[in-house]
Amino acid sequence: MSALRTAAGGRIDRTQRLTFTFDGRRYQGFAGDTLASALLANGVHLMGRSFKYHRPRGVLGAGAEEPNALVTVNRDIARHTPNLRATQVELYDGLVAESQHRWPSLTFDVGAINNLLSPFLPAGFYNKTFMWPRSAWHKVWEPPIRAAAGLGVAPTLPDPDRYAQQFAHCDVLVVGAGPAGLAAALAAATAGARVILCDEQAEMGGSLLSERDATIDGQPAAAWADATLARLAAMKRVRLLPRTTAFGYFPHNNIGLSERITEHLAQPSPSAPRERMWQVRAHEVVIATGAIERPLLFPGNDLPGVMLASAARTYLNRYGVRVGTRAVIAAGSDSAFAAAVDLAAAGIQIAAIADVRAPNAVDGPGLAAARAAGLPIRSSATVLAATGKLRIAAVKLGSVASNGNVSPTETLACDVLLMSGGFTPSVHLHSQSRGKLAFNEELGAFVPAATAERSRSVGSCRGINGLAASLEDGAVAGAAAATATGHAATAPRFVASALDAGIDGVPGALPQLAAAIPPAKAFVDFQNDVTTRDLALARREGFESIEHIKRYTTTGMATDQGKTSGLNALGFVAAESDRRIGEVGLTTYRMPYTPVTFGAFAGFARGDQFDPVRKTPSHDWTVARGGVFEDVGMWKRTRFFPLGREDMHAAVDRECLGVRNSVGMFDASTLGKIEVVGKDAAEFLNRFYVNNWSSLAPGRSRYGILLRDDGFVYDDGVIGRLAADRFHVTTTTGGAARVFGMMEDYIQTEWTDLSVWITSTTEQWSVVAVQGPRARDVLTKLVTGIDLSPTALPHMAIAHGEICGIPLMLFRVSFSGELGFEVNVPADYGTLVWEAIHDAGQEFGITPYGTEAMHVLRAEKGYIIVGQDTDGTMTPDDAAVAWAIGKTKPDFIGKRGLERPALKAAGRKQLVGLQTVDPKVVLEEGAQVVVTANQPVPYVMIGYVTSSYHSAALGRSIALAAVADGRARMGEILYVAMPGGDIPVKIVSPVFYDPQGARINV
Amino acid sequence: MSKLKRHPPHIDRRDWLAPLPAATRFSFRGSSEAAAAASRALGVELSQVACRAHVAGERAALWLGPDEQLLIGAESEAATLRDSLTVALGDIPHSLVDISHRQVAFVVHGAHAEWLLQSGCPLDLELSHFPVGMCTRTVFLKAEIVLWRTAPDTFRLEVWRSFAEYVTSLLAEAAIELSA
């Protein structure tokens, strides 16, 4: 294998050789590699092109912070995942990866012309340049800009994988399995607390896996991590979740975790979900998310081969990869020494450690180790530029005098330049939880201050420096968290040693030559291609607030979320505006921490399992007969039953005439049903509905109207009194749940004086509406124990008996205008009774009908449908149902609302009928009603069509409409405005068919 | 009547799921005085402790709210139960509503029962937090359910009939990875 791979050591398995391709070229790596480490082992640094300027980019980091090496992994045509960080893509045999955002190839990219044009592409360029004409943006400017910018391409096929979801609870959730997180989990778990420990990486251990000489309790750090994880794994109440990112901190310690289950496998099991979304409710949260090393700002800091010192150390110690052969190390913190010592020991030539700090400002074991290794150290040294084409070739160094003046010193050839600008604590989760952040001057970074949730930040994510201190910090917090959940814990103690990174750092730009104006590009935000020049321009254009600068330049936006760019942008802006960083402030950290797939959010909610599909007892019967369904809420209701090649229009005409001329049957099971029971049941309904219920005799029913407080119609339905203290309330199909909730609300909070209870019985009863002049004839064949004659069972009467030997609650009601019954039976018998009625009706030519015919039949009678003919702003009077109001009642919901002057004023829209002058024209529902045709735009609109159908019974079109002062306009000719020409209509009564109601009372 | 064909919602039996036979169910609501009278008629002491189910033979009473219990008995007991409850309750204010057909019951059992239910139920179902005998009205994703732990690895679910297919199919979806 490659000379860049070390002979031994690290976490890779050298016995498992894997083959993969990147941009069509075959390479080899080992199990345990990431795509990034495997490419680096093959000498490949160039992994992508930048977002805006198409600059060649190499890998910068080794983890979630990676802004450059964004790749597409192409498992197959439907599993084609763009914008993955190569640092997080685990290698598997046969992996196919492609670079993005380059054409025709990564090494020769036509789009790189943008880099030459970059003086003309400053921050805000698109906003300023493509403003005019406004209409041109979508068609002329946006498409090519989108094509030239942007990242990977999303797949177009449906995702074939499954995504799981899981709720979980724990005493202590520990986020991050580095030294502090492991110590916290151990402390909490040994006390008996239920612990979930999650970590975004394939292997838990965090920074411990990147250490060479560090020890804990006498063991090498990685061995200690292994042993600790084994201890934790053996505990019954501990759940370890590797490859799991805590991406969002939601209220009340609800944490979103995204677990990647099969992404790393060459041959995923078809039974395994690809990812799992965990919703964890934790009593206590320990945030141990670590810190991310910062790049340094100097011209050319984005060249392939320029990377973070800690990342180079990770590649060496964890993956056994030398990132180059000759390194220059730009130091702003002691992390540079640790990297230099390890790299030198691995045979990488260290050309220089260019330490920007003054000689008297640096001391400690890191410096001592570097000196002992004989490494060349330059103090007060700055990087003036990195040069090279597709890879760094040389570094120009300068010297910083005590007065701040910079002078050039030397140019060093190298193939990697490592940056250690200090560490930025990853405070994302703490910030998402609404915790406060405070700027720590000594650390030069924002660290968690007051918490808003039951959470504790531990280790380097709160600025703790060093291995021993992080272990102790984690252990103390883990013990405290467990104790807070009732599991008294003491913090374990550890003895640890390591070459620590220290607390130094360089926020903002490295010192540059005074003459270097305009400076060449020094990138602050690699992912969004934001340079120091862009930030300076934003300042010159008057942006002061960091929030405005962020939006204007896009620094730290999108998936970067300031991981590598945040503090550098603040430091640069602070220096430019002579403010301290703490005064500049901080932008908000938004979730997710790293991108989360749509699949993980959707979970099981796909296709038929997106929502419950509620089916009625006639469902299978209808399917077998080719019935057509429509969705009403979650219900599947039969819309119509086509015979042969009938279209909907023909089927509905036939179904309507079947009901009018003989008899039809309709599945009304979906209507909401609520049983109201108690000695105050009638009084409760008196207060709840507008009608008078005291006067309703047992065995009788009445049409009820429900208002909201504001006096507008909310729901309606027939309510039957089964006994003095028992009512059977029906609601609209869609309104069942909200009416039930509103009743329970009033019973529990407003009218606690009433002795009344409610029970939902929607699904207890199956309901078949049998409607038409022969309805009685059909039921007579099946019903026993009930006298169906008009005198014994008049319109709106209720009786109990049996049908087919099944207990029957029979309502004589009509929503069709014909003689009608509603057959209520216990739901398990619904299918049997539906089929029995259908059989018994054959001699009368019984017609099963659907919701569409039901709508036509009721519209012919002027019966409203709440939510279709009302829109939440109609009073009972507007809807022509004011007759239902109990005039003598002292109160009911909405009574005072109805007294508002606006609700009694003239000019309100009232429900009327419309007849088109041309009877063949069927109006469009929602179309506007106007007084005169061909008005100048905008028309003066005085109403709108609410319902419109062809009526087979009347041989013409009919419509209902809400029209201003409609009832005073009877007989007037108005117009319905349509694009193809205004349609003349006559205002008529909304009752089109049998206005005397003779057909019901038979 | 018992010979007549019932059509309950279809529920597939699986290694970890067993449909339960038809049952008599009442929604009972009333004061503690009414609960005491109902306890005598039912032969099951209605729990005064929140979210606890009490059982005697085939009869059970599940606490669902301060004034609400779900009473369950054998299918054949519908008339007997109604009559004895009505007599025992007399004039004591209460509500007794037959909901035998409103919902269906099935059992989720086995080593993975808790895991399967946690795929859609946000409550903490660990045995120490949701012990045997605990019951509650809760949700399984977008469906309301009544969940009752009858043994350490056994839960009874009561689901409104038109939601049964949704709940069982999602449980089956969650179970796919366990078959590997």
Q: What is the pLDDT of residues A451-494, one digit of tens each?
A: 999 999 999 999 999 999 999 999 999 999 999 999 999 999 99
Do A671 and A865 contact (CB within 8 A), yes or no? no
Please tell me if residue B166 touches chain A, with a CB cutoff of 8 Å: yes
**Which run of H or of E encompasses A475?**
helix A467-484
**Chains A, B: CB contacts under 8 A, how many?**
132
Question: Among B98, B113, B116, B153, which Cα is nearest to B131's?
Answer: B153
Backbone angles phi, psi at A120, to 5 degrees: -100, 5
Buried b (16+ CB within 10 A) or exposed e, A691-722: bbbeebeeebbbbbbbbeebbbbbbbbbbbbb
What are the chain B neighbours of A827 within 8 Å (beta carbons)? 101-102, 161
- Which pLDDT score, from 0 to 100, does residue B25 have? 98
- How much is the pLDDT for B52? 98
What is the number of residues in chain B? 180
Q: How far apart are CA B64 and CA B61, in angstroms?
A: 9
- pLDDT, residue A875, reads 97
CB contact under 8 A, A271 and B179: yes
- Which residues from chain B sit within 8 angstroms of residue A761, using beta carbons? 97, 99, 102
User: Which residue in A164, A168, A269 is closest to B174 by CB distance?
Assistant: A164
**Domain made up of A295-421: CATH architecture:** 3-Layer(bba) Sandwich (3.50)
Secondary structure of residue A309 in the 3-state scheme: helix
Q: 3-state class of A853 per DSSP?
A: helix
Residue A145: its pLDDT value, please?
58
Question: Per-residue pLDDT for A812 more than 80?
Answer: yes
Write the secondary structure of A589-637 as one string of H (helix), E (strand) and C (coil): CCCCCCCCCHHHHHCCCCHHHCCCCECCCCHHHHHHCCCEEEEECCEEE
Q: A857 near A674, Cβ under 8 Å? A: no
CA nearest to A613 within chain B: B166
Residues of B in contact with A756 (CB under 8 A): 95
Q: Is A218 helix (H, G, I), strand (E, B) or coil?
A: coil
Domains and CATH numbers, chain B: 17-179 (3.30.1360.120)
CB A705 within 8 A of CB A894: no
Give residue A140's pLDDT: 65
Cβ of B118 within 8 Å of Cβ of A166? The answer is yes
pLDDT score of A120 more than 80: no
Over its C-alpha atoms, chain B yields an Rg (Å, rounded) of 17
Q: Do B173 and A162 touch (CB under 8 A)?
A: yes
Q: Which residues of A touch B174 (CB under 8 A)?
A: 164, 604
Residue B143 with chain A: CB contacts under 8 Å: 612
Q: Tens of pLDDT along A789-804? A: 999 999 999 999 999 9
**What pLDDT was estimated at residue B1?**
46
Of A162, A166, A167, A623, which to mutate for an interface test with B (greatest number of B Cβ within 10 Å)?
A167
Of A755, A806, A827, the CB nearest to B4: A806
Sheet containing A496-497: which strands, arranged edge to edge? A219-220, A215-216, A496-497
Calculate ∠ Cα A296-A297-A300, nearest 5°.
105
Cis peptide before A901 (omega within 30 of 0): no
Nearest chain B alpha carbon to A826: B101
Round to whole Å and give the CA distance between A190 and A185: 8
Choose from B92, B102, B160 for mutation: most chain A CBs within 10 A.
B102
Q: Which residue of B has its CA nearest to A728?
A: B97
Q: What is the tens place of the pLDDT at every residue in A57-116? A: 999 999 999 999 999 999 988 888 999 999 999 999 999 999 987 767 777 777 677 776
Shortest Cα distance from B179 to chain A (angstroms)?
Answer: 7
Contacts for B174-177: CB closer than 8 Å, 24+ residues apart: B174/A164, B174/A604, B174/B115, B174/B116, B174/B119, B174/B120, B175/B14, B175/B16, B175/B112, B175/B116, B176/A162, B176/A271, B176/A273, B177/A164, B177/A271, B177/A272, B177/A273
Judge whether A845 and A772 are in contact, CB under 8 Å. no
**Which residues on adjacent β-strands are paired with residue A373?**
none
Q: What is the side-by-side order of every strand in the sheet holding A672-677? A: A700-707, A713-723, A726-731, A672-677, A757-760
Is the CATH code 2.60.120.260 the one for domain A1-157? Answer: no
pLDDT above 90: residue A769: yes
* Per-residue confidence (pLDDT) for residue A589, from 0 to 100: 85
Distance CA A111, CA A103 (A): 7
Residues of A in contact with B173 (CB under 8 A): 162, 604, 609
| Stretch 39-58 of chain B: residues touching chain A, C-beta under 8 Å | none
For A270-294, what is the mean pLDDT?
97
Cis-peptide, bond into residue A299, ω within 30° of zero: no
Q: What is the model's pLDDT at position B39?
A: 97
- Kindly determine whether residue B1 and residue A764, on different chains, have CB atoms separated by under 8 Å: no
- Comparing CA positions, the residue from A434, A422, A423 lying closest to residue A459 is A423
Q: Which of A101, A105, A111, A112 is nearest to A23 (CA)?
A: A105
Residue B24's pLDDT is 97
Distance from CA of B20 to the nearest CA of A (A): 14
* Cα A759 from Cα A768, distance rounded (Å): 21
pLDDT value, residue A347: 96
Picking from B86, B97, B142, B160 by the largest number of A CB atoms within 10 A of its own CB, the best residue to mutate is B97
Beta strands A238-241 and A195-198 are parallel
Cβ neighbours for A347, distance < 8 A, ≥ 6 positions apart: A322
Interface touch B118/A804, C-beta < 8 Å: no
Tell me whether the CATH fold assigned to A1-157 matches the one assigned to A164-291+425-489.
Answer: no
Read off the tokens for A781. 């064949």
pLDDT of amino acid A763: 97
Maximum distance among all alpha carbons in chain B?
59
Between chains, do A613 and B174 touch, taking CB under 8 Å as contact? no
* Spatial distance between the Cα atoms of A121 and A467, rounded to a whole number of angstroms: 45
For residue A929, pLDDT beyond 60: yes
Distance from CA of B137 to the nearest CA of A (A): 14
CA distances (Å), A569 to each of A58, A59, A296, A431, in order? Answer: 21, 20, 11, 18
CB-CB neighbors (< 8 A) of B7 in chain A: 617, 828-832
Instruction: Give A276 to chain B, closest Cα distance, Å.
Output: 10
Closest to A797 measured CA to CA, from A782, A781, A819: A819
Q: Which residues of chain B have pLDDT under 50?
A: 1-2
**What are A871-900's pLDDT values in tens digits?**
999 999 999 999 999 999 999 999 999 999
CATH number belonging to the domain at A164-291+425-489, selected among 1.20.1070.10, 3.40.190.10, 3.50.50.60, 3.90.1110.10: 3.50.50.60
pLDDT in tens, A947-1001: 999 999 999 999 999 999 999 999 999 999 999 999 999 999 999 999 999 999 9
- For range A203-221, the mean pLDDT: 96
Specify whether the CB–CB gap between A327 and A352 falls below 8 A: no
pLDDT above 90 covers what percent of chain A?
81
d(CA A282, CA A313) in angstroms, rounded, equals 35
Task: Indicate the residue of B118, B123, B180 with minimum beta-carbon distance to A271.
Answer: B180
Cβ separation of A613 and B165 shorter than 8 Å?
yes
In chain A, which residues have their Cβ closer than 8 Å to the Cβ of B160?
763
Between positions 116 and 155 of B, the ones with CB within 8 A of A are: 118-124, 126, 129, 141-143
The tokens describing A616, both together, are: 């009625």
The alpha carbon of residue A832 is apart from the nearest alpha carbon of chain B, in Å, by 7
Token pair belonging to A258: 């995204």
- The CA–CA distances, whole Å, from B154 to A423, A980, B59, B107, B135 equal 51, 66, 18, 7, 12
Domain ranges of chain A: 1-157, 164-291+425-489, 295-421, 521-593
Minimal CA separation from A770 to chain B, in Å = 21
Q: Are B102 and A162 within 8 A, CB to CB?
A: no
Least CB-CB distance to B1: which of A165, A634, A805?
Answer: A805
* Average pLDDT of the segment spanning A31-46: 97
Among chain A residues, CA nearest to B124: A169
> What confidence score (pLDDT) does residue A148 get?
56
What would the mean pLDDT of A442-453 be, rounded to a whole number?
94
Nearest CA in chain A to B128: A194
pLDDT, residue A526, reads: 87
Cα-only R_g, chain A? 38
- Asked whether the beta carbons of A769 and A665 are under 8 A apart, the reply is yes
B103/A609 Cβ within 8 A: no
Label residue A121 by pLDDT band (50, 70, 90). low
Q: CB–CB of B95 and A611 under 8 A? A: no
User: Model confidence over A623-679: pLDDT tens digits?
Assistant: 999 999 999 999 999 999 999 999 999 999 999 999 999 999 999 999 999 999 999
Minimal Cβ distance to B7: which of A167, A635, A832 = A832
pLDDT above 70 coverage of chain A, percent: 95
Q: How close, in Å, is residue B131 to chain A by CA atoms? A: 15
Which position has the higher pLDDT, A566 or A861? A861
User: pTM score, two decimals?
Assistant: 0.92
Per-residue pLDDT, A101: 73
State yes or no: pLDDT of A718 exceeds 80.
Answer: yes
pLDDT classification of A552: cutoffs 50, 70, 90: confident
DSSP letters spanning A491-526: -----EE-----S----SBPP--TT--S----EEET
Point out the residue among B67, B169, B177 whose CB comes nearest to the CB of A271.
B177
Identify all chain B residues contacting A764, using CB atoms and an 8 Å cutoff.
97-102
Which residue's structure tokens are 């945040």?
Answer: A566
Flag whether pLDDT at A565 surpasses 90: no
- Identify the band that residue A515 occupies on the pLDDT scale cut at 50, 70 and 90: low
Residue A361 neighbours by CB distance under 10 Å: 11
Task: Name the minimum distance, in Å, from the CA of A695 to any CA of chain B.
Answer: 22
Nearest to A659 by CA among A516, A792, A778: A778
Asked if residue A556 has pLDDT above 90, the reply is no
DSSP A860-925: HTT---TTTT--SS--TTTTT-GGGS-TT-S--TTHHHHTSHHHHSTT-EEEEEEEESSTTPPPPT
Residues 6+ apart with CB under 8 A from A943: A909, A928, A929, A961, A962, A963, A964, A966
Q: How confident is the model at residue A926 (pLDDT cuts 50, 70, 90)?
A: very high
Q: Which residue among B6, B29, B124 places its CB closest to the CB of A169?
A: B124
Q: Which fold is adopted by the domain A521-593?
A: Arc Repressor Mutant, subunit A (1.10.10)
Rounded-to-integer distance, Cα A813 and Cα A826, Å: 19
**Of residues B99, B142, B143, nearest to A761 (C-beta):** B99
Report the DSSP beta bridge partners of residue A729. A674, A719
Strands B154-160 and B103-109: antiparallel
